[in-house]
Chains A and B, each alone.
Chain A
Amino acid sequence: MHRSSEVKHVASYLNTRGCECFGQPCESHCPVLTDRTIHVQLKTFIKIRVKPDRTGVVTDGVKHSMNPFCEIAVEEAIKLKEKKLVKEVVAVSCGPQQVQETIRTALAMGADRGIHVEVSGKDYETLGPLQVSKIFAALAKKEQADLIILGKQAIDDDCNQTGQMTAALLDWPQGTFASEMTLEADKLKVVREVDGGLETIKIKLPAVVTADLRLNTPRYATLPNIMKAKKKKIANVKPADLGVDVCSRLEVLKVDEPPQRQAGVKVETVDDLVGKLKEAGRV
């Protein structure tokens, strides 16, 4: 079934709409993972402003919420638990104090407990997929997780790296861009959305899966579950406790807004058009 046009439509939509920080990492990944892990990402929906010193975007006072792909990942994990295929769902997020709210949303959807990996200040500003995957890998070993489910990418930086890096660090198989996943004993059948269409693979557990748009439709947190979430525990952990160095290997040189759209020029004839294009060196 040839679905590349649909996949491209979704992919391009994200790049223009989701990447409001204009291609620069502005929020850290806040992977939510668990014993069947969920990836949670901080994302803002407010108008993004570049900081005056051009080192990033303004994040002060900006409300953060769960990355939509991570919501889908949480939903998938909870569905597995409801089918009694997994025992426990643990939601994890990396970041400052505010991420606890996002973890609690995952708990309200049905996750059993949460882990908050505290990263704040300068460390948080430079937190990227590599550090997050290291944290992920360390936690997965510590928690003896069998399955890590993340959103395929964060819609603030669109890196699309954390899942893949985590799998590599753990030397686990990975099923990325999953639009369908079925647990069959100790193997996972994953249908992946790729440019050529749909690819079905079978991977052995433990494994990493990244969730794509069509994997499921996340549920609304019900009021009784919100009440229950209050009693669920969120553990606090520091990257150092996991032996992870969050120092970044990347240095952001500058962050700029995209250039203002210039007014077009009207021409009378096709010859004029070709002439102008030649002038601009485009032809």
Chain B
Amino acid sequence: MSSALLPSSRLTSVARCSSWRRASILAGTPGQTLAELPELHQMMRQTCRDYAQKELAPIAAQLDKDHKFPAKQVKELGAMGVMAVEVPESLGGAGMDYLAYCLAVEELSRGCASTGVIVSVNNSLYLGPILKFGTEEQKKQWITPFTTGERVGCFALSEPGNGSDAGAASTLAQQEGDEWVLSGTKAWITNCWDASATVVFATTDKSLKHKGISAFLVPMPHPGLSLGKKEDKLGIRASSTANIILEDCHIPLGNMLGERGMGFKIAMQTLDSGRLGIAAQALGIAQAALDCAADYAHKRTAFGAPIGKLQAIQFKLADMALAIESARLLTWRAAMLRDAKKPFTKEAAMAKLAASEAATFVSHQAIQVLGGMGYVTDMPAERHYRDARITEIYEGTSEIQRLVIANNILKEYQQ
């Protein structure tokens, strides 16, 4: 009977789609506005949503339990063009804009948050800086093989001694003849156990402080580069996180990304964009949590009626939906500004801050709505709660986002 069940399960999953579709009905006039997405974006959002619902959501819980990298799904996403959304077609990417990328990450994260971050890190943190600062030669070598889902990249900025304090990078890069020799330790590197290359930031001139940091491209595996133990995390467990240890790691001079001393600038600009990817991931997690809570509110009865009839639950659902929608619009706006090549640093920080705080808030409330059921692994609410937490920390903590926003505000009001 298994062959009969498999195709019909596609019908069930298609039918189950209803709550997903209901949750995203937009009104308004078409065009490049926040009121309604252009048709192209709607289509690509739909294809990502279909994929996430059919291929990611059913396995997300198991991937989380097994801490397993979804290699098959990453390859399929590569074939769909999702692993390199902004990369031009000439280099093997999908050639779409950043708004499309944010939509993709949100929809995929709604199915599986770990897959969302794997896609986000590859797109924003690895391909992003190479696309922006790489030479044509570097792009061919370091971008094209990473568009298909066969290989993923990672981004090594943080160290055991500094996360938010990125300017204090203590990893060193010394020139020895026609090679760079890197030494030091990088911490909290997402994707590293599954990656085939990394963008590493190291100090080339300690006296210049943050202006003495440069960016390098290192293949993985590579002599002199080793990985620390996989961290046992609270959430996003299907994506690997570990230290990257560089000991006498030799790379050709041509592996420097951008100019010498440009590293800090590259890192900051990369993170500006990257945080929109994380905002999108947080939105996806929040939406999944809301889906779970709203569905439960319809089905669970107490005091003689579905709990969705109770004001206490209704107020929660309203606040949850509001938080998500507000953060989503901020994210879209920041992405549109970036696509229009306008300054978007403040908006990106706002988006990431709003979305990550929405994710933690919504997933917290979702557990509350589910009561005891929210606390057990039978329902996905507890996984969303665990997955959401990291979004307030990585790619710029909420505190750093506040500083970025404040700095921009003060500049606007400069006397």
Contact = CB atoms under 8 A, between A and B. Distances in A.
Interface of A: 5-7, 9-10, 13-14, 17-18, 45-47, 61, 63, 68, 101, 104-105, 108, 155, 213-214, 217, 220-224, 226-227, 229-230
A214 B7 contact: yes
A223 B82 contact: yes
B376 interface: no
A220 B3 contact: no
Contacts of A17: 11-12, 15
Interface string B1-35: 10110011011101101100110010000000000
B1 A6 contact: yes
A47 B3 CA distance: 29
Contacts of B44: 221, 223, 226
Interface string B49-82: 0110000000000000000000000001001111
B25 A63 contact: yes
Interface of A is mostly: helix
A45 B53 CA distance: 15
B85 A223 contact: yes
Nearest to B38: A230
Given A6-B1, A6-B4, A222 B11 contact: no
Interface string B369-392: 000000000000000000000000
A220 B50 contact: yes
A271 B179 CA distance: 95
Across chains A and B, which 7 residue pairs bring their CB atoms closest together, nearest first? A223-B81, A223-B94, A6-B4, A45-B18, A213-B7, A221-B47, A222-B80
Interface in B338-376: none
A68 B47 contact: no
Contacts of B15: 17-18, 45
B100 interface: yes
Contact of A10 (B8, B50, B81): B8
B39 A101 contact: yes
Nearest to B54: A220
A224 B4 contact: no
B410 interface: no
Interface residues of B, number: 36
Nearest to A9: B4
A45 B14 contact: yes
Given A45-B17, A108-B47, A224-B89, A68 B96 contact: no
Given A17-B15, A227-B96, A221 B79 contact: no
Contacts of B47: 108, 220-223, 226
B312 interface: no
Contacts of A7: 4
A216 B3 CA distance: 12
Contacts of A61: 25
Given A18-B11, A108-B47, A224 B21 contact: no
Given A108-B43, A221-B43, A46 B79 contact: no
21 contacts: A6-B3, A9-B8, A10-B7, A10-B8, A13-B8, A18-B15, A45-B17, A45-B18, A47-B18, A63-B21, A63-B25, A155-B11, A214-B3, A217-B7, A217-B10, A221-B80, A222-B47, A223-B82, A223-B85, A227-B40, A227-B95
